[in-house]
Structure 1
Amino acid sequence: MTETTTATARAMPRARRRKGVPASAPGMRAAIYVRLSRETEETTSPERQRAACEALCEARGWTVVMVEDDIDVSGFSRGLERPGLQRILSRLPELDVVVFFKIDRLARSTVDFAEIMRITEAQGVALASATEPLDLTSSMGRAMAKVIAVFAELESDTIGMRVSSAHEHLRREGRYTGGRVPYGYRVVPNPDGAGKVLEVNPEEARTVHGIVERILAKDSLMTVAADLTKAGVPSPGHSSRQTTGKRSDSKKWYTTTLRSLLTNPQLLGQVIEDGKPILRTDGLPLVSRTPILDMDTWQALQDELTRRANPGDRRREGTSLLRGVAHCALCGFRMYTFVARGRVRYRCIGRLKKRQGGEQIDCYGVSIAGEAMEDHVEAQFLKAFGRLAVVRMVEQAGEDFRPQIRQAREALADLEADRYDRGLFKGEEGANRFAAQYAKLEERIASLEDKQRHAKPAGVTAVPTGLTHAQQWKAADTAGKRDLLLNAGTYVEVSPAKKGGRRLDTSRLAVHFGMDGQIRRADAEGRDVEEAIREQVQREAADADW
């Protein structure tokens, strides 16, 4: 129960001490704080604490204006979140000193004590213990308090290291340690013991797979995000998700949400700490839960997202269909769109580019009606490829054990430094432990070097999409259609107009596909023609297999 003296300070103005007047001077306003974890403690009963504090105030000539207590309240587990203490801290402008029986009654942690000292000192309020020589109303007491603050910081750092180490240990065992729950997973009791673990959330996993399929099918992030929001699919920040982790109240999908989700290696079942995967002793990421995506799909997804993030290859929704496909027959430069009289046209700007570089060419800037040319190229493309199946080329990462070999060699060097430079592994037992660890690392290095000699090289694998070119063309947006054209090696040469007219003169257009188109584009853009040929050979071989 909280008691308050009849003398109230609520209406009194703040009496700031004049410079040079000590806090121990008579007439200062004091608040007494009493705390007891259990009522059964007789040696520090609330009555005794209060009596000692009142005796100190009387001896110093201080006026007691409030008394607050926290009974059956732990100072360690509750920290500063104690009702009585909070009431005192809320009225600091009306006080000059806070009196307590012993420091452990005010705070059981030096971190909490340092925080209380910081708050009161900022308000010009002193702290005083009724039974200890530590008196923060004196210069010596404040100096000692600063030493306590240093140790408080050390204790805080030590606690942080212990907590971090404990969390990493639990994560390595596959346990959930709190915080944000990765999308696609949910928190469940640990079936193998204490604590909780993460398991795949079937509904969210289906959402992830659907998103990945659409991204690999060239749908834009903006379109996918808009469709998910419209369909009411809970986003990673949706408040309706039943998890114990902290979440925002966002109920919409954004392109940043999608990119953050799709680049999170936790989809592979990896365990993340401080933004990085926890590594096993062999240097590989620790996988302690069921993956949502397999490695091949993950790599294809990252390649697609990287391609879109590249300014030179970014596919913006609503961009022109034949950008990068249509080239001028006179100079070989790409043709770009512009609007004339409300209609989209393509034109060559090669002459302008050359002029900017101080060169001159004969091209005068060929132009052509955009919609009519796009319709013609679409018809030619679907005629040639419409019935053929679409395959996705997945680049298979080759095996490379060199980073693991380097990591093992560094661990071996550190082990040698521990024994010979730092003087660790002393005595017979230490020598045995050193020899065992050294032998284990040497064995691992030898094993990795043997794997490196027989490492599987990188390659490209064709994965069927289950759709024909015509089906995917119908479902794709402008960027997706353009990707289909480019993957088919489409190259369009636009010649100068021979005569005027409203209708498109198709004789101006030379449409090339496959190897012929790839070679022409590589040559026009100054790229390695042989590399373009190799890429097209792989693509056509994959198409033939399916």
Structure 2
Amino acid sequence: MRAAIYVRLSRDTEESTSPERQRAACGALCEARGWTVIAVEEDIDVSGFSRGLDRPGLQRILTRLAEFDVIVFFKIDRLARSTVDFAEIMKLSEAQGVALASATEPLDLTSSMGRAMAKVIAVFAELESDTTGMRVSSAHEHLRREGRYTGGRVPYGYRVAPNPDGAGKVLEINPEEAKTVRMIVERVLAKDSLMKIATDLSKTDIPSPGHTSRQTTGKRSASKQWYTNTLKKLLTNPQLLGQVIEDGKPILRTDGLPLVNRSPILDMDTWNALQNELNRRANPGGKRREGTSLLRGVLYCQVCDSRMYTYTGAKGQVRYRCIGRLKNRQRTGEQGACYGPSVPGKNTEAHVTADFLDKFGDLPVVRVVERVGEDFRPQIRQAEEALSDLEKDRYEHGLFKGDDGALRYAMQYAKLEERLASLKERQRNAKPAGVEAMPTGKTHAELWEEADIAGKRDLLLNAGAFVHVAPARRGGPKLDTSRFSVFFGEDGFIRRADADGKGTAPVIDTMAEEMDGTLF
């Protein structure tokens, strides 16, 4: 009989069923039975439970079943860790007339009773695998609650270090990576685009979250390239707050709040401000189009007060034109009084840019940064949910039985109620939101030189740029600058609000509060 030997081991360090021992036992069985070994396949460091039948060595045997008469393995749990997988292997082998033989278990798999006994053994193998998995998972959760590092991917901003309080390892802040995180957060709160931040980081020697220089275990990329998705995942990871994550969710304490057992990189106020800014950008109505035209939202038609947008003319040159006529026809079915005046894009942008830099190029830029107020409502909601879950555990699930159980229930309930009352009190005295002027240390001209198109447009809009474009004169020059009425500052903000139909009163009130003689 032609025999194929199959060897599997989840970890190459497991001595009791080492590959050498498995091969020796299977080879001895083949020699005793007079079988000719024509193939030996191995799956080392491969889990039989999580991978199922998707194991390279096993698949090589299953695709060559026509060449074998018997498949020999050390024990049933080496061949399959679940009853379903074992039944499927038995079905495939029987269809090809191939027998199964265990080198250490006295089973005759050619008889109905032998196959039934093999399935029973497979059931217990599956149970053992499940029990082991639960035991390992429980041990890992306990270690995480104790602040220990249990392996796997290291969160960006942290590094593995010896446990100063005993055995094992812990995660501590990586100063260089934490500095990078805070720099990124500062730029996001200053309204820099994720695309611009990623591009700037990729030009430096700062390793990305996937680079080999910053990970201690597992497979990773050696690229220093940063991407916007990389930044989004990094900036929305609650591990920056020192929280412990398991299966993608924070581990909760007995009071229902996230477990924090390592030093946070960001404080809660900064985290809330960061998430608010990212949520604002995620809103489709608030997204800034990358590569947008410089004067979109700046140029307005003097005839109908509609915004002017870019289009490509017959000779491939970009122009701005009013689409008020088209919008009026779509809305009322009539042409309207506006004929849709247009201006050359490149020359118009150069004229407005020169005017802007002449007036504000030497002035320093001060960014107005929103200061997010304290908000304890999410934590209040978590505490309330924890109270509800605790009540269900006792009165619906039958936990906390006996006098000792009732005492433990009362202590946990009292602790949660105290926590909830404290949070509600803090919410009543929460610090309100506000704004803060942050000097950038640069002039408008310097920022203009560094910015992309979208960034330059932001500088114009933040300066209150508003340009009214009058109809062209017959036979006039290619760029008649007398058609442009350019406004900045308070006058520009008010005119833009009026043209957009938003009302000028809120703008006037805001200007009275924020304008102090310098441009933001």
Q: Which amino acid aligns with 1:65?
A: T
- The match for 1:111 is 81
The runs of 5 or more residues in structure 1 that have no matched partner are 1-6, 10-28, 58-62
Query: For residues 42-79 of structure 1, what are the alpha-carbon distances to aligned partners after superposition, in whole Å with 9 as ceiling and x for unaligned?
Result: xx999999888887x5xxxxx52239999xx9999999
- The match for 2:136 is 163
CA RMSD across the alignment: 4.5
User: Contact 1:31–1:88 at 8 Å: present in 2 too?
Assistant: no
Task: Provide the rounded CA distance (Å) in 2 between the counterparts of 1:161 and 1:462.
Answer: 53
Instruction: Please state how far the C-alpha of 1:495 moved relative to its aligned partner.
Output: 1.5
Instruction: Please state how far the C-alpha of 1:335 moved relative to its aligned partner.
Output: 0.6
- The match for 1:18 is none
Query: For residues 186-216 of structure 1, what are the alpha-carbon distances to aligned partners after superposition, in whole Å with 9 as ceiling and x for unaligned?
Result: 3232233222233333444444455555555
Secondary structure of the equivalent of 1:123?
A: helix
CA spacing shift, 1:445–1:95, aligned 2, 3 Å: same
- The match for 2:389 is 414
Instruction: Please state how far the C-alpha of 1:363 moved relative to its aligned partner.
Output: 0.9
Between stretches 226-235 and 175-184, larger displacement belongs to 226-235
- The match for 1:356 is 330
Instruction: Please state how far the C-alpha of 1:297 moved relative to its aligned partner.
Output: 5.1
Q: Which amino acid aligns with 1:175?
A: R
1:266 aligns with 2:239: yes
User: Contact 1:408–1:441 at 8 Å: present in 2 too?
Assistant: yes
After superposition, where does 1:366-445 map in structure 2 within 5 Å?
A: 366-445=341-420
User: Contact 1:219–1:477 at 8 Å: present in 2 too?
Assistant: no
1:246 aligns with 2:222: no
Q: Which amino acid aligns with 2:37?
A: M
1:517 aligns with 2:517: no
- The match for 1:345 is 319
- The match for 1:256 is 229
The runs of 5 or more residues in structure 2 that have no matched partner are none
CA spacing shift, 1:297–1:495, aligned 2, 3 Å: farther
Secondary structure of the equivalent of 1:466?
A: strand
Instruction: Please state how far the C-alpha of 1:428 moved relative to its aligned partner.
Output: 1.9
Instruction: Please state how far the C-alpha of 1:261 moved relative to its aligned partner.
Output: 3.2
Task: Provide the rounded CA distance (Å) in 1 between the counterparts of 2:465 and 2:297.
Answer: 10
Instruction: Please state how far the C-alpha of 1:350 moved relative to its aligned partner.
Output: 1.2
Taking structure 1 as the reference length, the TM-score comes to 0.75
1:506 aligns with 2:481: yes
Task: Provide the rounded CA distance (Å) in 1 between the counterparts of 2:363 and 2:379.
Answer: 43
Instruction: Please state how far the C-alpha of 1:113 moved relative to its aligned partner.
Output: 8.4
Query: For residues 359-414 of structure 1, what are the alpha-carbon distances to aligned partners after superposition, in whole Å with 9 as ceiling and x for unaligned?
Result: 43211102122233323322333344334332333323333333333332333233
User: Contact 1:316–1:479 at 8 Å: present in 2 too?
Assistant: yes
Aligned-pair identity in percent equals: 64
1:122 aligns with 2:95: no
Instruction: Please state how far the C-alpha of 1:433 moved relative to its aligned partner.
Output: 1.4
Instruction: Please state how far the C-alpha of 1:307 moved relative to its aligned partner.
Output: 4.9
Q: Which amino acid aligns with 2:318?
A: V
- The match for 2:292 is 319
User: Contact 1:392–1:464 at 8 Å: present in 2 too?
Assistant: yes
Task: Provide the rounded CA distance (Å) in 1 between the counterparts of 2:6 and 2:173.
Answer: 54
Task: Provide the rounded CA distance (Å) in 1 between the counterparts of 2:480 and 2:65.
Answer: 87
Task: Provide the rounded CA distance (Å) in 2 between the counterparts of 1:507 and 1:193.
Answer: 78
CA spacing shift, 1:208–1:479, aligned 2, 3 Å: same
User: Contact 2:154–2:215 at 8 Å: present in 1 too?
Assistant: no
Task: Provide the rounded CA distance (Å) in 2 between the counterparts of 1:32 and 1:471.
Answer: 69
Query: For residues 487-532 of structure 1, what are the alpha-carbon distances to aligned partners after superposition, in whole Å with 9 as ceiling and x for unaligned?
Result: 2222222121234433533332222233332233233223365554
Task: Provide the rounded CA distance (Å) in 1 between the counterparts of 2:329 and 2:105.
Answer: 87
User: Contact 1:268–1:292 at 8 Å: present in 2 too?
Assistant: yes
Q: Which amino acid aligns with 1:64?
A: W
Task: Provide the rounded CA distance (Å) in 1 between the counterparts of 2:292 and 2:191.
Answer: 14
Task: Provide the rounded CA distance (Å) in 2 between the counterparts of 1:76 and 1:506.
Answer: 74
Q: Which amino acid aligns with 2:355?
A: Q
- The match for 2:164 is 191
CA spacing shift, 1:460–1:126, aligned 2, 3 Å: farther
- How many positions carry a matched residue from both structures? 500
Query: For residues 451-500 of structure 1, what are the alpha-carbon distances to aligned partners after superposition, in whole Å with 9 as ceiling and x for unaligned?
Result: 22222233223322222222212221111111111122222221212344
- The match for 1:177 is 150
Instruction: Please state how far the C-alpha of 1:446 moved relative to its aligned partner.
Output: 2.0
CA spacing shift, 1:50–1:236, aligned 2, 3 Å: closer
Instruction: Please state how far the C-alpha of 1:349 moved relative to its aligned partner.
Output: 0.7
User: Contact 1:111–1:153 at 8 Å: present in 2 too?
Assistant: yes
Between stretches 532-541 and 451-460, larger displacement belongs to 532-541
Task: Provide the rounded CA distance (Å) in 2 between the counterparts of 1:310 and 1:324.
Answer: 19
Task: Provide the rounded CA distance (Å) in 1 between the counterparts of 2:438 and 2:90.
Answer: 67
